[in-house]
Amino acid sequence: MSTVLELISAQKMPRLSASDHVAQTLKKAIVDGLLPAGELLRQDEIASHFHVSKIPVREALKHLEAKGLVTFLRNRGAVVASLSAAEIDEYMEIRAMLEARAARLAAAQIDDQTIEHARQHLDAFALATDASGWGELNWLFHSTLYSAAGRPILLAEIRTLYNKVERYVRALLSVTTEMPKTQHEHAAILDAFVRRDPDAAAELTRAHVLEAGASLVNYLNEHRSKGGNK
């Protein structure tokens, strides 16, 4: 794990508190798939690597636990969390409901500037060549549209659900052959916002998330049946 942390923390990062820096580094390693499910996160090793006490490390791990990325096991400590296919399916179902609500609220009052920002993210998504870029640009596209709803708590809840499944989504995107379909769905969603059509925006968003969830569950079941562990 030390080598992984060295590679990640060597990248340029903004000034953060010790616990935030540790949390962001570990989160990136987990989401990028560098720290697999079940990996033991030894607090003393992490503290030594970051030259901090165990207190900020413990805070960072508790923060990641709240995001669904870390689990504390009795007599073992913190490990990278694993989600079952059923859990992912339920998370995506909840996401579909929340994102459809956000889309419905936002489509009626979105302005041209916000639409243009979303379009820029969509264009960048089409040009991205790696799963990490796809994952982040996918979030930026959707969240930019949803921001017009003026519901920061709703947006935060949606982001939390993104965090829980993001590493699985990135794994799927890295092997998917359905990228043209995804781009077509994104374009249709954007067009509904351009038309200020709440019903279409909500339904297209709901269908898009549920379809992604179904693809994700199928991928995970196939991957695990072949002996994968994520």
Give 188-222 pLDDT, tens digit per residue. 999 999 999 999 999 999 999 999 999 889 888 88
Q: Which of 53, 80, 107 is at the close of a domain? A: 80
Are 60 and 89 members of one domain?
no
Report yes or no on 97 lying in a domain.
yes
Identity of the amino acid at 106: A
pTM for the predicted model, two decimal places: 0.79
Cα 104 to Cα 160: distance, rounded to the nearest angstrom: 20
Report yes or no on 230 lying in a domain.
no
Report yes or no on 186 lying in a domain.
yes
Q: Which of 18, 48, 80 is at the close of a domain? A: 80
Are 54 and 163 members of one domain?
no
pLDDT computed for residue 15 by the predictor? 55
Q: How many domains does the chain have?
A: 2
Q: Give mean pLDDT, residues 106-121.
A: 97
pLDDT computed for residue 111 by the predictor? 97
pLDDT of 135 over the 90 cut: no
pLDDT computed for residue 13 by the predictor? 46
Report yes or no on 157 lying in a domain.
yes
Are 132 and 185 members of one domain?
yes
Report yes or no on 29 lying in a domain.
yes
Are 91 and 7 members of one domain?
no
Average pLDDT, the chain: 87
State the Cα angle at 129 between 192 and 26, rounded to 5°. Answer: 95
What single string gives the DSSP state of each residue in 90-156? HHHHHHHHHHHHHHHHHHTT--HHHHHHHHHHHHHHHH--SHHHHHHHHHHHHHHHHGGG--HHHHH
Are 199 and 99 members of one domain?
yes
Start-to-end CA distance of the chain, whole Å, equals 16
Q: Domain with 72 in it: what CATH number?
A: 1.10.10.10
Name the token pair of 166.
Answer: 């993001």
**Residues of the domain holding 95:** 85-225
Report yes or no on 33 lying in a domain.
yes
Are 28 and 94 members of one domain?
no
pLDDT computed for residue 68 by the predictor? 83
Cα 28 to Cα 25: distance, rounded to the nearest angstrom: 5
Identity of the amino acid at 81: A
Are 128 and 141 members of one domain?
yes
Residue 38 makes CB contacts below 8 A (sequence gap 6+) with: 79, 80, 82, 229
Backbone angles phi, psi at 22, to 5 degrees: -60, -45
pLDDT computed for residue 220 by the predictor? 82
Are 98 and 187 members of one domain?
yes
Q: Which of 25-29, 45-49, 200-204, 208-212 has the highest mean pLDDT?
A: 200-204
Are 91 and 197 members of one domain?
yes
Q: Which of 80, 106, 139 is at the close of a domain? A: 80
pLDDT computed for residue 22 by the predictor? 93
Residue 31 makes CB contacts below 8 A (sequence gap 6+) with: 69, 135, 163, 166, 167, 170
pLDDT of 84 over the 80 cut: yes
Are 162 and 75 members of one domain?
no
Q: Return the closest-CA partner of residue 164 out of 59, 92, 226, 111.
A: 92
pLDDT computed for residue 32 by the predictor? 78
Are 135 and 166 members of one domain?
yes
Q: Domain with 126 in it: what CATH number?
A: 1.20.120.530
Report yes or no on 24 lying in a domain.
yes
Are 69 and 7 members of one domain?
yes
Report yes or no on 206 lying in a domain.
yes
